[in-house]
Structure 1
Amino acid sequence: MQHHGPRIWLNLELAKKPAPCLEYIVVHELAHLLERHHSDRFTALMDRFMPQWRLYRDELNRAPLGHEAWGASSPAMHSPRCSRTPISASPWMGRGVGGTTS
């Protein structure tokens, strides 16, 4: 198996969310490439790259899940394997530190 480095997987249901919330998710996942856990260091990274991240997190937490709001035509449509798309890590975030890999 060929290793291509860190990957971030995003659920396609996020496309239905407001753009700032999607940006929060991307910054959150990129921060995980530098710090795997939700530690003080992770929080500091989020504060540095997106100072208002807590507002967007709270907005997402208040929003309904995709299948609740838009209805599911098939359980397979909501399986993690079918609904996620990889995004390669940005070079500014560093390489090989934590994150979700494939």
Structure 2
Amino acid sequence: MTNWIEIGNINAIPRRGARCVNTPSGKIAVFRTQEDQIFAMENRCPHRNGPLSEGIVHGASVTCPLHNWVFDLTTGKALGADVGGVRTFPIDVVDGRIFIASEVLAVAAE
């Protein structure tokens, strides 16, 4: 059974924007699409550690602000390049409140 930790409200994240959650091992970017879908992934591009939370959200993708690499918010995979991807994390939204799986914070710390 998954335990969930509330990390904020959907309205705290602008549409097509992101906010970060600090963990012991770094930041997790939490994205909101134009359609109010919520996704979470590592906040660093594998290329030059670009802050993905500062990238452009379009559809269910985000473009790194440093070198325009595009990542699928659902899978974390880089689109159009064979460079791997970034780690994604489970998120749940209930009545506008955003929750992240508690094990994410423990796993992120490893």
TM-score (structure 1 length as normaliser):
0.28
Which structure's residues are more often helix, by fraction?
1
Which structure's residues are more often strand, by fraction?
2
Bigger Cα Rg = 1
TM-score (structure 2 length as normaliser):
0.27
